[in-house]
Amino acid sequence: MQNNLWRALGRNFIISLILFGALLGILWLAEWLLSSQLSIANLQLLKWHDPAWVVGIPASIIGVAYILTVRDPQNYTGFYAGILMSALLGIQFILQGSYDSTFLFFCVFIPFQMMSIYKWSRNKENGDAGFEPKFLDFPRFWMSLAICLSITAGDYLLQTFAFQHNGLCDNLFVKLFNGLMIASSFLANYWLIYRKNDAWLYWFIYSISGIGLFIILGNAFSIVLFSFFLVINSMAGIAWIKSTKQENMGWLQRK
């Protein structure tokens, strides 16, 4: 059984590699065909000269394999890919000078994913008794949402006064979307430990925030990438919801 889980991870990695190969090929072709227009607009689809961008490519490939694997609520092996993805993303953010995100990936995500491996594998050994996908109940749903907003606000203030040293209204949406990405990915990783469907709600927020952020920054590749994440995360969330029993619908429970 465990060999089947690892084989599924391997298959998902190959799928991700093929998808990203096709994506990079399409972007290369678009850059070649539209070179003059992109030059006038000062846009660049592929940034092979940028070390942070280059590190982000394998991080993204491994990240999609991670999501495709944990789309199966029984398969904990995806979290090993998640740890490697988090390490690469931490390096990427060091290169970009985004130290709040660096701290998050090394000091929060990797420990959370290690906890997920321990908890999921332990329950797998015990037959997954009582460890099915569930939604949060109403009190914890609202508590989680309040934590998300608090982290977003805290990161907004940190960026304003510690990193960017500007006014509260300067770069408003850039700081807001960045804070939402950090807050939502924190809660998504946390709730995955306990197989809560709400994790996918936060991954959805993460993907939407990333699209908004990179539209503002004019990063065409990242817009496409986060649109891709949006589709993958939505597919995973739907798969989990379909395997959720009616009595586990939590705050969506019909009265």
pLDDT in tens, 131-175: 688 999 999 999 999 999 999 999 889 888 887 778 777 888 999
Query: How far apart are alpha carbons 178 and 157 in whole angstroms?
Result: 12
Percentage of the chain modeled with pLDDT above 70: 95
Q: How many CB atoms within 10 Å of residue 229? A: 22
pTM listed for this prediction: 0.85
pLDDT, tens only, 17-30: 999 899 889 888 98
pLDDT, tens only, 67-115: 999 988 888 899 999 999 999 988 988 988 777 778 888 988 899 999 9
Mean pLDDT rounded to a whole number for the chain: 87
Residue 255: per-residue pLDDT: 55
- Residue 114 tokens read as 């290690």
Phi and psi angles of residue 165, each rounded to the nearest 5 degrees, phi first: 50, 50
Q: What is the mean pLDDT of residues 7-19?
A: 94
Phi and psi angles of residue 134, each rounded to the nearest 5 degrees, phi first: -140, 155
Residue 4: per-residue pLDDT: 86
Residue given tokens 């006014």 in the structure block: 167
Residue 34, pLDDT > 90, answer no
Domain ranges of the chain: 1-127, 135-250
* Contact status, residue 189 vs residue 108, Cβ threshold 8 Å: yes
Residue 220, pLDDT > 80, answer no
Residue 27: per-residue pLDDT: 84
Residue 184, pLDDT > 60, answer yes
> 128 pLDDT band (50/70/90 cuts)?
low
Query: How far apart are alpha carbons 185 and 233 in whole angstroms?
Result: 12
> 37 pLDDT band (50/70/90 cuts)?
confident
Its sign, for the CA torsion 24, 29, 35, 38, is negative
Residue 113: per-residue pLDDT: 93
Cα separations (Å) of 221 from 21, 31, 40, 68, 179?
13, 11, 17, 21, 21
Q: What is the mean pLDDT of residues 217-222?
A: 80
The string of DSSP codes covering 15-31 is: HHHHHHHHHHHHHHHHH
Residue 43, pLDDT > 90, answer no
Phi and psi angles of residue 143, each rounded to the nearest 5 degrees, phi first: -60, -45
